[in-house]
């Protein structure tokens, strides 16, 4: 049986996200095995997973890049879209760092602390990979999955028939809650999901959502590096 065009289109949008989550799962498994004493891995060893994850997902996005016709950089040439996207991104960042409530977390966030590395060059490489991954790879990967694919897939399994930014209550609520559950700080994640979805409905532009998400994550990266609040990473 041959896969339909819609099946392949979906694959291009969920596979990078699935690969990203697989690395997170691997990290959790390795931490569990290490805690049980079944393998010998230090916290330093686990930090090396992030550059591998960012590079792997980035290469996959690069390979599929011609399939993402819904990403229209020219949308950002509209000043109102540009200003709104940046403003939403900054607002989400400011809310995020004030919504680190313990009742909305998956346990205690382990965080990503590159300062445990004694070698300066290693620390620098890890920091650069983390900032690049958070501010470039993650926004593209997540917006393709959540706001391009899942939002439309909930409305119609043949999601490519649905225009970007089409609103229904079911797709909005389901995708927003699931987006929150993906993050350590669940309530903050839901808040961000609401903000990025509303931005999509307003602009009908996935590029605007990617930029907004990138602004949030870059601002958060600068905040983490300036304050050493590694739990946000």
pLDDT of 40 reads: 86
**All structural domains of the chain with their residue ranges:** 5-232
204 phi, psi to nearest 5 deg? 55, 30
pLDDT of 43 reads: 83
Tell me the mean pLDDT in the region 36-58: 91
pLDDT of 2 reads: 45
Residue 99: band (very low, low, confident or very high) from pLDDT cuts 50, 70, 90: very high
Residue 150: band (very low, low, confident or very high) from pLDDT cuts 50, 70, 90: very high
- H/E stretch holding 155: helix 151-155
3-state secondary structure 173-230: HHHHHHHHHCCCEHHHHHHHHHHHHHHHHHHCCHHHHHHHHHHHHHHHHHHHHHHCCH
pLDDT tens-digit readout, 67-91: 999 999 999 999 999 999 999 999 9
pLDDT tens-digit readout, 155-204: 999 999 999 999 999 999 999 999 999 998 999 999 999 999 999 999 99
pLDDT of 85 reads: 98
Contact 104, 186 (CB under 8 A): yes
C-alpha span between 22 and 118 (Å, rounded): 28
pLDDT of 111 reads: 82
Residue 103: band (very low, low, confident or very high) from pLDDT cuts 50, 70, 90: low
Residue for token pair 């897939």: 153
């Amino acid at each position: 049986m041959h896969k339909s065009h819609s099946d392949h289109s979906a694959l291009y949008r969920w596979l990078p996200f699935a690969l990203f989550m697989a690395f997170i799962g691997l990290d959790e498994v390795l931490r569990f095995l290490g805690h049980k004493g079944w393998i010998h891995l230090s916290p330093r060893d686990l930090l090396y997973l992030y550059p591998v994850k960012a590079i792997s997902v980035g290469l996959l996005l690069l390979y599929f890049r011609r399939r993402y016709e819904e990403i229209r950089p020219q949308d950002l040439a509209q000043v109102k879209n540009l200003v709104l996207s940046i403003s939403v991104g900054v607002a989400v960042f400011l809310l995020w760092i004030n919504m680190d409530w313990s009742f909305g977390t998956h346990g205690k966030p382990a965080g990503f602390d590159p300062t445990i590395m004694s070698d300066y060059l290693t620390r620098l490489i890890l920091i650069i990979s983390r900032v690049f991954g958070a501010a470039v790879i993650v926004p593209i990967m997540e917006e393709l999955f959540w706001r391009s694919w899942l939002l439309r897939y909930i409305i119609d399994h043949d999601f490519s028939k649905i225009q970007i930014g089409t609103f229904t209550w079911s797709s909005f609520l389901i995708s927003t809650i699931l987006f929150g559950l993906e993050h350590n700080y669940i309530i903050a994640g839901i808040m961000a999901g609401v903000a990025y979805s509303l931005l999509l409905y307003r602009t009908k532009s996935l590029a605007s959502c990617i930029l907004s998400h990138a602004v949030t994550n870059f601002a958060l990266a600068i905040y983490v590096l300036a304050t050493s609040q590694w739990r946000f990473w």
